[in-house]
Amino acid sequence: MRFKPTQLGTPHQRVWLRLRRSTSAKIGAVVVVFFVGMAAAADWVAPYGPQEHDAVVGAHADPSAKHWLGVDENEKDVLSRVMYGAKLSLFAGFVSIAMAVILGSTAGTLAGYFGGWIDALIMRGIDIALAFPSILIALLVATAYRPGWAAVILAVGLINVPVFARQVRVTVLTLRELDYVLASKALGANSLQVLSQAILPGIINPVVVLATLGLGAAILEVAGLSFLGVGGDPTEPEWGSMLAQAKDHLTVSIWPAVGPGVAISLAILGFNLLGDGLRDALDPRLNEAS
């Protein structure tokens, strides 16, 4: 009898093998690593400083050997600012999604496990939040505080909480009826022990996938709020604020908008491809089929 390669080894080994075979996961991982590396190494690899002027070439200079993506209206190198902008854009995206994961997963777990009035209270609050456009909620949250990157991160994190809460609730509703969870209760485990030892391991995979997919959306939301002017210092390099400054000079030069625009698009594509690959690799139904 011949076995498929994915039938051999532990479940973790089969997941890793499936992930390695996923073209979308590999492409997404390369793109994500590229941008993370760019953000981490910007201080060393960027050809110019984020606020460094080049008065010799002047404003709106076209791409050249000296300035690969041209120069913006303030005589600053576009490529360098895109590289430095990756720091703030990725940091804001990661922190906001981490906040959404913690708050949303906690709310969804409590609602799904305990049910009753706790479920009704939490999910009615989630339904109310989903009734309003996410960008409107983000603008209200961001403008309720002093404009700045902290307000933007808080706003983006809060509008993503319902996404994680609903997904985790659905997962927990399924998990709490499984035999091993019922056995834990029958053996005298309290709610905290059941949640930490039986429920938590079961929600990790869907949360990881959803967080990876959500990172692309979070980066776009951060850039959108920054573009609308509710971010921090507009002169600080960030992809959304760079687009906001470039839009007023598109008739003169498009290059200051091309750099951050392409960076945002590729970053979103990378996280989406990686998330799709993780979803396929971690889907238990696919693991059973293989």
**Would you place residue 1 in the very low, low, confident or very high pLDDT band (cuts 50, 70, 90)?**
very low
pLDDT at 188: 84
Q: Say whether pLDDT at 232 is over 60.
A: yes
Q: What is the pTM of this model?
A: 0.88
Q: Say whether pLDDT at 285 is over 90.
A: no
Q: What is the spatial distance between Cα 66 and Cα 168, in angstroms, rounded to a whole number?
A: 50
Radius of gyration of the chain (CA): 23
pLDDT digits (tens, 9 = 90+) for 213-230: 999 999 999 999 999 888
What residue ranges do the domains of the chain occupy? 36-46+64-289
How high does pLDDT run on average in the chain? 88
Task: List the helix and strand counts (H, then E) for the chain.
Answer: 12, 0
pLDDT at 149: 86
| Nearest C-alpha neighbor of 205 from the set 287, 266, 269, 130 | 287
More confident residue, 99 or 140: 99
Q: Which of 7-21, 233-247, 251-265 has the lowest mean pLDDT?
A: 7-21
Pick the CATH number of 36-46+64-289 from 2.60.40.1080, 1.10.3720.10, 3.30.2040.10, 1.10.340.30: 1.10.3720.10
pLDDT at 281: 85
pLDDT at 150: 87
Q: What is the spatial distance between Cα 248 and Cα 26, in angstroms, rounded to a whole number?
A: 38
pLDDT at 233: 78
